[in-house]
Structure 1
């Protein structure tokens, strides 16, 4: 979604342990095609989100390449944590089918503390906007200017602000918000062994 409207050189593509610039259609095809003998209700893949701290992000020299390197190191650790063997050999990252993508934006969700604590103000503003709409439609009498003034005051009274604006659901979070989404196939590269992080082998 972040690639919409961007020039090719600014787009973030999927990557894995050894490849870059993998298309979304290839990811879908590879993950969906690597699920033999799985039952309908069994997951085909697992989703991991890696969120470096603000301190860690500040230390990165080249955000894109450093985050890719970081992801590839994480996936080596992920693979080594499977306490099992495939054909007599310990599971390694070469047995794991995964695709990752870097994203640079995060938005406030309805469950975030800032949005929840701003909700009483948001409700009052919504009620005032409804009153204004009813006045405009002739359903009730009142001063639109006075109500708009109340709304302006409430906007400033909201406990959580960002760049002078009340924080609402869907607003982009400021600062470096880079993070990585990783899709890991349930089956190994050969599509014959199940590697579930929730199995007895974890």
Structure 2
């Protein structure tokens, strides 16, 4: 007789209950990652272009600042150049004014010296004429005095001659001739005195 068959069965049931819920209470400024059985999945963090934008802004700011600095430098150069030109023009103008003033002063001085020279010449001519007139007057006066002295001497000789004759006639008692002699002698001495006084006055 045959043997009978055998059978077996096995049933295994594993049940795992996992709760992947995270509860946060209060202010949350951080990031909470919740996974199931160690699986956190794929996480992607993005700044939504903030860094690129910040970099672009920074580059633009640097470029703008460089442009502003260049423009400021150019303006400074233009200002310096303009100031230099103004200074040169001012120096030229001052030099021209100074030269004109010096020329005017020189011309005035030259005219003054010329006027003074002419005045000296005219004064010298006037003085020469005056000296010539004085010399002629002196010569005329001296000649007049000489003539008066000569006439006085002649009169004195005539008076002495008359006196001799009068002395001879006095012996005969003619008093009229004696009076004439006295008058002639007095006149001769008077003329001589006048000539002497004039000579001393001219000297």
Which structure has more helix as a fraction of its residues? 2
Quick check: TM above 0.5?
Answer: no
Q: Which has the larger radius of gyration?
A: 2
Instruction: Identify the TM-score tier after normalising by the shorter chain.
Output: under 0.3
**Relative contact order, higher structure (CA 8 A, sep 6+):** 1
Which structure has more strand as a fraction of its residues? 1
TM norm structure 2: 0.15
TM norm structure 1: 0.15
